[in-house]
Amino acid sequence: MGRKLSVHLLPDLCPPEILRGGTSVVIDVLRASSTIVTALQNGAIAVSPCGSPEEAESIREQYGSDQVLLGGERGGVRIEGFDLGNSPAEYSRTVISGRLLAFTTTNGTRALLRSLSSRSILIGCFLNLSAIVQRLRGVTGDLHLVCAGTDGVVTGEDVLFAGAVATELGYGVADEWQPNDCTELSVRLYRSVVNGSQDCRVAVYEFLRETRGGRNLQSLGFDSDIRLCSQFSEADVIPEFDAQDGQLKSARRD
């Protein structure tokens, strides 16, 4: 019997005891995962995931405003008084390099905080797909792909990325994996989107625009973020949660 490769469609569907001892990849394609990856790729010292705006503000008080930037959103919109929102485009090297980011979002940071019983927690999105897959090939134990969803509702973009990871890991080809039903569902979704497409990025972008999260971003004027978040393997960083200080730090692939 192979290792478990489990896709969880929502954080609430994977109790802590299921994740314990395994490696979890937290997925919030639109947009927290993509923003965290972009921030670390562009030189952020670390990202502190916060459950509330007040927690983020307390981190800035602790370290000082010259060291910490506040980033995040509620309802897709930058939180009042914060330096940055949840658009990856805001996190340029000029803005974020050498700074600690205190970050809170509606769905993504909550999914991470729900996964703390895992042995290891990584952040994944299309931007770092190749790096994540390479890292996962080298780990032992069970793998869990935890989709953040939107306000407690399953979202297609997260399921699609989970399917991309499972496909790249050889699910359906190698006998290494023991999947759950949601793994099969996510792989079928991914294959249905990209098979026959001349450009996977275009196919993924078009699919993302039609998801719940994609439609919400379009209504807020963030269509350009959808295109950015649909780019494949533009980053080589793997955000990894450090349980000792509660921060996400960059681990680059070899």
Nearest to 42 by CA among 217, 228, 246: 228
The CATH number given to whatever domain includes residue 151 is: 3.90.1560.10
Quick: pLDDT tens for 152-171: 999 999 999 999 999 999 98
What confidence tier does 1 reach under pLDDT thresholds 50, 70, 90? low
Beta bridge partners, 103, equal 49, 71
pLDDT bin (cut points 50, 70, 90) of residue 253 is low
Q: What is the spatial distance between Cα 191 and Cα 145, in angstroms, rounded to a whole number?
A: 17
How long, in residues, is the chain?
254
* Strand-pair category, 120-124 with 23-27: parallel
Classify residue 79 by its DSSP letter: P
| Average pLDDT, integer, range 233-241 | 97
User: Is-contact 36 123, C-beta < 8 A?
Assistant: yes
The predicted structure's pLDDT at residue 174: 63
Residues in contact with 203: Cβ distance below 8 Å, sequence separation at least 6, in sequence order:
193, 194, 197
Burial of 1 (0-12, 13-18, 19+ CB in 10 A): exposed
How far lies 38's CA from each of 133, 240, 244, in Å? 18, 14, 23
pLDDT at site 193: 97
Neighbour-count burial of 50, counting CB atoms closer than 10 A to its CB (0-12 exposed, 13-18 middle, 19+ buried) = buried
Number of domains in the chain: 1
Write the CA distances from 247 to 65, 124, 182, 202, integer angstroms. 18, 16, 29, 33
Domain housing 124: 3-252
DSSP states of 6-38: EEESSGGGS-HHHHBTSEEEEE-TTTHHHHHHH
Cα–Cα dist 149/111, whole Å: 9
Q: What is the pTM of this model?
A: 0.96
